[in-house]
Amino acid sequence: MILAKKVRIYPTKEQEQKLWQSVGTARFIYNYTLAKQEENYKNGGKFINDGVIRKELTQLKKSELTWLNEVSNNITKQSVKDACKAYKRFFKSLANKPKFKSRKKSKPSFYNDPIKLKVKKKKVLIEKVGWIKINEQIPINVKYNNPRITYDNKYWYLSVGIEVDKKQEELTNISLGIDLGLKELAICSDGKIFKNINKTKK
């Protein structure tokens, strides 16, 4: 079972600059991928697999887009996946055409590889950003799912899914009958009566 957890993070000024750099990279790669898919679609081409675009970006990181090396490679990989997933749904007529992300209107966010996400007492390690303080403890030594860092125009947050074992309820040999009525809301076979609050002044 996946338990959702969202905690506020407290980056230093230097760390916040790196967070913004990661946000900008995620937005750039998402838009780059959409542009490639759209151009290909207009020219009558088929859907471009995300692996093809990632290979192209790997080559561009050695020449035109060297600044991509300053942030986690996992941000680039996931942004390509997110854009391709959105465009594939459009390509299959399952959703409207995805929109490009703008600096002003889109929610600032980026992905962090769950394997690279490290947690200790009141701190988390964001890849290529460093250890950042958090306001609430996240479970340690568990499996994390789809970590995302977001900004709400005031504070930074980390949202993450945490895998926990589903609690198994113990069964008993007790059977319970319930009679629903108008005078009383419910009368149970164990003698418990639930009053009908709709018949009171309150």
Main-chain dihedrals φ then ψ at residue 10, nearest 5 degrees:
-120, 80
What global pTM score does this model have?
0.78
Helices 13-42 and 50-60: crossing angle, nearest 10°? 120
Digit-coded pLDDT (tens) for 109-127: 999 999 999 999 999 999 9
pLDDT tens across the length of the chain (202 residues): 888 999 999 999 999 999 999 999 999 999 999 999 999 988 888 889 999 999 999 999 999 999 999 999 999 999 999 999 999 898 888 999 899 999 989 999 999 999 999 999 999 999 999 999 999 999 998 999 999 999 999 999 999 999 887 777 777 888 888 888 777 888 888 888 888 877 666 6
User: Rounded to the nearest 10 degrees, how much is the dihedral formed by the CA atoms of 143, 88, 74, 71?
Assistant: -140
40 neighbors 164 (Cβ within 8 angstroms): no
